Homo-oligomer: A and B are copies of this chain.
Amino acid sequence: LKPSIKRRPDARPREIIDAALDVFAEKGFAGARLDDVAARAGLSKAAIYLYFEDKIALLDAVIQDAAGGAIESVAALSANDRSPVSPLLAQLLATGARTVLHTRLPLVVKLVISESRAHPEIGRRYLATVAGQILPAAKALIERGIASGEFRQIDAELAVKSIVAPMVLAAIWRSVFEPLGALRLDVEQLASQHADLIIRGMRKA
């Protein structure tokens, strides 16, 4: 909080986190070397310790950092209260597609999948902040649709998974398989067609 000399007000942690996400996603947490993180961030390895207690504290920061952005996206949905649900779901998937395409959340998802077993606290924190926000929000939407007669009587909890699963798949596809040479996945098309299929599937009659 001291602007001190002429210096940007510490973009440092940002840069380190960004670099770390890249390296962690590429090599895995245990396989990543802080030397590489430092090099990519343009710092010395020792400098990382000025901003982060630990290698694992850095992992935590990387994941929590991404979590923040993800949640905001969904907040908007809960607001709209009385409109029909179907367009909102379509919009949810479209937003998901854009997030998959234009943010680094896919890398974080892969990272969480990879490291949660070995570092449960980190997994739990992510589960609480991300999954714990998005899934209930979506579930509420579906329940509203059922209540309003827009949808048939279905299991809302499971329906949520049916809806979001392709976006998870897309995140993995892009962060894992495309770098391997797999065919590029058209995420927005997938989101759009999936919304269409699922909404028809849930509709009454």
Contact = CB atoms under 8 A, between A and B. Distances in A.
A113 B113 contact: yes
Interface in A88-141: 110, 112-118, 120, 123-124, 127, 131
A26 interface: yes
A147 interface: no
Given A113-B113, A168-B169, A201-B200, A127 B190 contact: no
A70 interface: no
A165 B169 contact: yes
Interface stretch (A11-19, A34-42, A60-68, A154-162): A154-162
Majority-rule SS of A interface residues: helix
Given A161-B169, A165-B165, A116 B200 contact: no
A20 interface: no
Interface string A162-205: 10111011101001110111100110011001101111111000
Interface residues of A, number: 53
Contact of A154 (B25, B114, B170, B197): B197
A9 interface: no
A81 to B, nearest CB: 25
Interface of A: 25-31, 110, 112-118, 120, 123-124, 127, 131, 154-155, 158-159, 161-162, 164-166, 168-170, 172, 175-177, 179-182, 185-186, 189-190, 193-194, 196-202
Given A120-B180, A161-B194, 12 more contacts: A27-B117, A28-B28, A28-B29, A28-B31, A31-B118, A113-B113, A116-B180, A117-B175, A155-B193, A164-B169, A197-B201, A200-B200
* 7 A-B pairs closest in CB distance: A197-B201, A30-B31, A201-B201, A165-B165, A114-B114, A30-B30, A165-B169
